[in-house]
Amino acid sequence: MFSFLLSIVNAGTRYIQSSSLLTCMENSQFTASFFDIVFYPGNNSVDFNVVAITTIDNKTVGVNVNLIAYGLNVLQRNISLCDIDYQGIGNTKNNPLCPLMSGHLDLDSSYTLGKSVTKDIPGIAYTIPDLDARVRVIVYDTKNYEQLACVETTLSNGKTVQTKYAAWPIAAVSGLGVITSGVISVIGHSSTAAHIASNSMSLFVYFQSLAITAMMAVARVPPIAAAWAQTLCGH
């Protein structure tokens, strides 16, 4: 019973999450093998757990953060990693990001964003299904502004139009049309049966075309269209 109530509470919690990190430049000096970040607008907190490897050695770095939503750059900030009040496990205050040393990084903590940053995030970002947004972070040396790394991550709010309950009814409707045409053909109404079968096959071809188009243009199709196509093709 407690787990059920907890799931209801979590379902109503607004958040934006990212669980993958890709490089966006050649010879990027920062890569992550594990990446999980969740932002909660209710208290402006960011919980992050990152396991990464960097070849940036003993440099004071800053990051240029760009939030890109639906092809538009909606938010841009420059942040010095030395200004981050990092609090690790055991309430340790040692900031492993300032200066940034080469080697293995294990970051597991939380951070509170200022309202000057979060106020620019529209409320619809937490509710629109299959959010088409990503964050691009460019890491640079604060002394000479040399670009050292570029990483990019996609964002999700947990909402999607993809559902497991749509594929089977669609298949049933298509199959029912074919079965009906067969029964009518046996009765002797061949022209009517051919008409029903033709319409059923047209419906099937339509759904198949949507799925094939989404698969062939996966890099260009918006996430909401890809999710809907995946629903139609039955996962």
Report if residue 6 sits inside a domain.
Answer: no
- Domain of 227 in residue numbering reads as 167-232
What is d(CA 120, CA 44) in angstroms, rounded to the nearest whole number?
12
Domain match, 173 and 145 both: no
Domain's final residue, options 133, 154, 175? 154
The number of folded domains in the chain is 2
User: Tokens at residue 207, please?
Assistant: 């759904």
Domain match, 116 and 147 both: yes
Buried/exposed 158-176: b ≥16 CB within 10 Å, e otherwise = eebebeeeebeebeeebee
Look-up: residue for tokens 């990019």? Answer: 152
Which of 40-43's residues contact partners 24+ apart within 8 Å by CB, and which partners? 40/13, 40/14, 40/15, 41/14, 41/15, 41/16, 41/118, 41/121, 41/126, 42/13, 42/14, 43/112
Domain match, 116 and 223 both: no
User: Helix 190-216 crosses helix 167-187 at what angle (to 10 degrees)?
Assistant: 160
Domain match, 48 and 145 both: yes
What is d(CA 130, CA 225) in angstroms, rounded to the nearest whole number?
9
Domain match, 175 and 228 both: yes
Residue 225 CA: distances (Å) to CA of 116, 128, 152, 153, 160: 33, 13, 22, 20, 10
Q: Are 130 and 227 in contact (CB under 8 A)?
A: yes
Residue-level pLDDT at 234:
58
Domain match, 184 and 217 both: yes
Domain's final residue, options 130, 154, 178? 154
Domain match, 83 and 48 both: yes
Provide CB contacts within 8 A for 138, sequence distance 6+. Answer: 63, 64, 66, 147, 149, 150
The 10s digit of each residue's pLDDT in 166-190 is: 777 777 877 888 888 888 888 888 8
Q: Are 79 and 60 in contact (CB under 8 A)?
A: no
Domain match, 60 and 98 both: yes
Residue-level pLDDT at 2:
36
Report if residue 32 sits inside a domain.
Answer: yes
Domain match, 26 and 136 both: yes
Domain match, 32 and 125 both: yes
Strand partners, 110: 47
How confident is the prediction along the chain (235 residues), in pLDDT tens digits per residue?
434 333 434 456 899 999 999 999 999 999 999 999 999 998 999 999 999 999 999 999 999 999 998 888 888 889 888 887 766 655 555 778 888 899 999 988 888 888 877 887 888 889 999 999 999 999 999 999 999 999 999 999 999 888 777 777 777 877 888 888 888 888 888 888 888 888 888 887 887 787 787 777 666 778 887 887 777 765 4
Q: Which pTM was predicted?
A: 0.73
Domain match, 22 and 87 both: yes
Report if residue 161 sits inside a domain.
Answer: no
Residue-level pLDDT at 219:
65
Domain's final residue, options 154, 188, 208? 154
